[in-house]
Structure 1
Amino acid sequence: MKKVCWPYFDPEFENFTERIHGPSCRVCIDNESFEDCTIVKVDSVNKQGLLLQVVQALTEMNLFISKSYISSDAEWFMDVFHVTDEHGNKLTDQNVINRIQQVIAKRKDPRDSSQVKSGAGTGRENTGEHTAIELTGTDRPGLFSEISAVLKDLKCNVVEAHAWSHNERLACVAYISDQSTDSPIDDPRRLATIEEHLATVLGATINGSGTHDEQGVKTAGLPPPGGSINGITTTNVERRLHQLMFAGRDFDGPPANASLSALPSPAEGEEERNKKIIVTIESCNEKRYSVVTVECKDRPKLMFDTVCTLTDMQYVIFHASISPHGDSAFQEYYIRHINGCPLNTESEKQRVIKCLEAALERRVCEGVRLKLCANNRIGLLSDITRLLREYGLAVVRADVETQGEKAVDAFYVRDISGNEVDMKIVESMKREMEALALEVKNEPSSHRRSSPERPPFCFSFGDILKSQIERFSHHFIPIKWTKNAVRQPHILTLLY
């Protein structure tokens, strides 16, 4: 038998780059440079989607990104984040600092995170201890209540659910289990029955032409609530909601032949006040970039929503800067399409502008925030949403979670007639639900501490490109920043 000769391959070759240039991902936490925030610096070998993974990792830990500088030209990724915790304080807990380093270093390769893709969920899959279901369709007052009632009638326990409504489109991701066994539902016939009943509820909205609008129900390969599968965590649910809304073309606005039962829009003045989202796109011919600038009210998860949208639209972010400007945020992104081309046509630019505006509007809800913390039981979600509907309140966003034996639910509601929610309704609900202790309080008005002396600040990467600064991540100017108090909706807290 002839011997087969193979070329020699040094097993240390894969580590050759790291041995020359150091580790492929370095995460540095700086708590000394600023008194009011912590600096997170990330230097890594660049890979497509890495920026989203890093931003997502910080978002999952409830960290507020107030400012960021990003550069990923050539094959190296450099990023600087100014972050605080959810209370607006710098990070002092060493366990949190260690976790940031571990999580970001672990996610240096986006392939390790098995991201949820736009086509995910086409088959019926169980996710750990629960079954995930996606729902998309045309929204109407009382729809979320009807969905909850159907799941209750079908003996399904809703362990977690997240729903967004925007421009008369609804997107919802729910995790359910069998009511009697608290186990995943994997019987194909029962899953088909659940899908059929939910599809009937979603298809009940008829447009002006007399036909049913596009809707869909399907089980999905999403992570279990509070856990992960191959690195996917529950934050990916928000990315999936963005994708479902995008697929439903909510960025086109409400349909011209909208159903008469659709939820009315806010008052004209209120809509104008909340519409302060300015997106522009210019060309940087010297470097063949398209420059996307976004200016809007500052808020948590703002950067995640923007980066998520651009990434899922197949654009690569090469440079970016995010900085506060009063109670607003200024974002600037130097992008190209994944094929290497900038945005060449006016129609493509307008499409990106509309999609970014829609993505930033989805999470912002005007009205009243109702928060429920109660002992969990079967049918609790159905009972609460039914009561809201009976009192003329429409759910425009919902976050339903189970924490041990407790149900922690948050609903953003508006009056079905389009008027401001009458807080006397709270007293009426309290009298009807005598078993619940009801407390009304204002939500904290700021995620950052107030400092009226801070001057406006705007940072542009155009100056960096012109001066060809190579390692700007280690040279930044200390600037005091703040976020002025903004009006927030009330919180209705229900406690068993």
Structure 2
Amino acid sequence: MDDWYAKLVRRMTTPSFVIDNNACPDATVMKLLCVEATNKQGILLGFVQALADLDLVVVKANMSFDGEWFMDVLHVKDGDGNKVLDRATILKLEEGVAALSACPVPAIEPRLWRLELVGSDRPGLLSDLSAVLRDLQVDVVNAEVWTHDGSAAAVILVTAAEPVKLAALRDLLCNVLRGDGGDPVTARVALAADSAAHPARRLHQLMFSGEKYLAAAAEKYPAAPVHVAVSYCPEKDYTMVTVRSPDRPKLLFDTLCALADLGYLVFHGTVVARGGSDAWQEYYMRHEMGRGMWTAEERRRVECAVAAAIGRRVADGAAVEVRAEDRAGLLCDITRVFRENGLAIRRAQISTAAGRAVDTFHVSDLSGGHVDRNSIDVACRQIRHLGKALVRVKDGSVDPALKGPTESTGFLLGSLLRACSLHSFRPIRSYS
């Protein structure tokens, strides 16, 4: 009897998921319906997250929720702009939707730990952090690093170690984040045994800081290509948010993350991507605590938080992909090359599998501007010599096999710092 009742409840709360490749001539229509929506916001965000992880692009969406049931209709294409026809991809989506209503059971890997770091950004920060990991002999399995508006956040999956080493690791990483004269309040390092948390979702949460956006955003965000307008609809007691921005993959996911972090529930929403050039989003929502959009300060907070969430994933600069045989200290060596050549890492995605490392770095000059091709070529050449690595730049070209050793054209003290770890100095005084 108990099994029958549990199955009935699970069937009632599991969203109905339909994929239709005949309803639209140029996109796959995906419908998500649930009549007992106890966690509507989480289900919607989890579904859009699954689409983003599979590199699927939402070109149109309509969302409706009345407090008890919801129906979301999304028009989706693959990365090449075609319908979603791959059976393996569809199967992963179906499994992901079925898991949305299940009781969350953390997937704990006893040999893996998740490090979460947030603090002020500065040149050479990732190089210093990776030097600490190398010196304590902690291997990086996967990592993702974002920087935006003077802040930096990272989610790093590392191999487990004894408690004493983990405690020392946390303290040293926090010391590196503080830097020389940094604010100790903004530097935070968390250590968890749960390795199943979604990196991008956690990065949004780490970089989200309520009132932070009100201080400096008034001058920065209006000049950005993201336009956010917030108004209040007293007739229906809805807060209406309109977003106009350049279209790009994972745009819907980033926007929904911002609204969830702000504590708003989406009741109705419309998303339209206009020919791949720009996108228009409109949401009717209410705060989960019943707080209305009554003050200009609250409106500004929503506008800046949404604009910041959209801007975090946009990394200016060149994208450099490095493929090499994985080994201890590889990440430290690569980031040191960028640092010594005067390149700042704006975003990074690190992954390892089957003894191979695939790392992508978005780099700029120290002021955040574009770097010239010569600086990129010098860095690529030095990375190649680290271990016969294959290096690709964003335009798809492979750096040529240049002859002879090449000296760094970066910082004056680069050769002196090449073999030493800066984390042993307290506080950190080198920002090269």
CA contact (8 A) 1:369 1:491 kept: no
Tell me, what secondary structure is at the counterpart of 2:139?
A: strand
Q: In 1, distance between residues paired with 2:282 and 2:13?
A: 29
> Structure 1 residues 438, 93: closer, same or farther in 2, change over 3 A?
closer
Bigger helix fraction: 2
Q: In 2, distance between residues paired with 1:194 and 1:55?
A: 34
Please point out which of 26, 39, 49 is paired with 2:29: 39
Q: Once the 2 structures are TM-superposed, how far is the Cα of residue 404 of structure 1 from its aligned partner?
A: 1.4
Q: In 2, distance between residues paired with 1:345 and 1:248?
A: 15
Q: In 2, distance between residues paired with 1:23 and 1:246?
A: 31
Residue in 2 aligned with 1:457?
none
Q: Once the 2 structures are TM-superposed, how far is the Cα of residue 11 of structure 1 from its aligned partner?
A: 8.3
Please point out which of 88, 93, 103 is paired with 2:81: 88
> Structure 1 residues 221, 294: closer, same or farther in 2, change over 3 A?
farther
CA contact (8 A) 2:244 2:278 kept: yes
Please point out which of 132, 144, 148 is paired with 1:162: 144
Residue in 2 aligned with 1:150?
132
Q: Once the 2 structures are TM-superposed, how far is the Cα of residue 333 of structure 1 from its aligned partner?
A: 0.8
> Structure 1 residues 10, 363: closer, same or farther in 2, change over 3 A?
closer
Give runs of aligned pairs for residues 201-212 of structure 1, distance below 5 A.
201-206=176-181, 212=184
Query: 1:174 and 2:156 equivalent?
Result: yes
Q: In 2, distance between residues paired with 1:222 and 1:23?
A: 26
CA contact (8 A) 2:322 2:390 kept: no
Return the letter of the residue paired with 2:209: A
Q: In 2, distance between residues paired with 1:346 and 1:412?
A: 36
Tell me, what secondary structure is at the counterpart of 1:247?
A: coil
Length-normalised TM-score, structure 2: 0.83
Query: 1:279 and 2:228 equivalent?
Result: yes
CA contact (8 A) 2:115 2:192 kept: yes
Length-normalised TM-score, structure 1: 0.73
Tell me, what secondary structure is at the counterpart of 1:162?
A: strand
Q: Once the 2 structures are TM-superposed, how far is the Cα of residue 161 of structure 1 from its aligned partner?
A: 1.1
Tell me, what secondary structure is at the counterpart of 1:373?
A: strand
Query: 1:243 and 2:225 equivalent?
Result: no
Identity of aligned residues (%): 37
Structure showing greater radius of gyration is 1
Tell me, what secondary structure is at the counterpart of 1:145?
A: helix
> Structure 1 residues 440, 405: closer, same or farther in 2, change over 3 A?
closer
Please point out which of 67, 72, 97 is paired with 1:74: 67
Q: Once the 2 structures are TM-superposed, how far is the Cα of residue 51 of structure 1 from its aligned partner?
A: 1.3
Return the letter of the residue paired with 2:188: G
Tell me, what secondary structure is at the counterpart of 2:292?
A: coil
Residue in 2 aligned with 1:137?
119
Residue in 1 aligned with 2:358?
408
User: Over the residues paired in the alignment, what is the CA RMSD in angstroms?
Assistant: 3.1
> Structure 1 residues 417, 52: closer, same or farther in 2, change over 3 A?
closer
Unaligned segments of structure 2, at least 5 residues: 402-432
Give runs of aligned pairs for residues 199-278 of structure 1, distance below 5 A.
199-206=174-181, 212=184, 214-223=186-195, 228=196, 232=197, 236-247=198-209, 251-252=213-214, 275-278=224-227
Residue in 1 aligned with 2:164?
189
Tell me, what secondary structure is at the counterpart of 1:219?
A: strand
Tell me, what secondary structure is at the counterpart of 1:161?
A: strand
Residue in 1 aligned with 2:268?
319
Q: In 2, distance between residues paired with 1:219 and 1:97?
A: 34
Q: In 2, distance between residues paired with 1:280 and 1:114?
A: 38
> Structure 1 residues 100, 417: closer, same or farther in 2, change over 3 A?
closer
Q: In 2, distance between residues paired with 1:255 and 1:282?
A: 19
Query: 1:368 and 2:321 equivalent?
Result: no
Q: In 2, distance between residues paired with 1:192 and 1:494?
A: 44
Return the letter of the residue paired with 2:137: K
Please point out which of 81, 104, 119 is paired with 1:113: 104
Return the letter of the residue paired with 2:201: R
Tell me, what secondary structure is at the counterpart of 2:83?
A: coil
Unaligned segments of structure 1, at least 5 residues: 1-8, 116-124, 178-183, 257-267, 444-489
Q: In 2, distance between residues paired with 1:392 and 1:197?
A: 24
Q: Would you say how many aligned residue pairs link Structure 1 and Structure 2?
A: 395
Q: In 1, distance between residues paired with 2:299 and 2:222?
A: 25
Tell me, what secondary structure is at the counterpart of 1:113?
A: coil
Residue in 2 aligned with 1:304?
253
Give runs of aligned pairs for residues 48-59 of structure 1, distance below 5 A.
48=39, 49-59=42-52
Summarize deviations over 1:188-208 as a string: whole Å, max 9, x none: 22111111211221111425x
Query: 1:436 and 2:408 equivalent?
Result: no
Return the letter of the residue paired with 2:325: N
Return the letter of the residue paired with 1:368: A
Summarize deviations over 1:420-452 as a string: whole Å, max 9, x none: 211112332354444536565555xxxxxxxxx
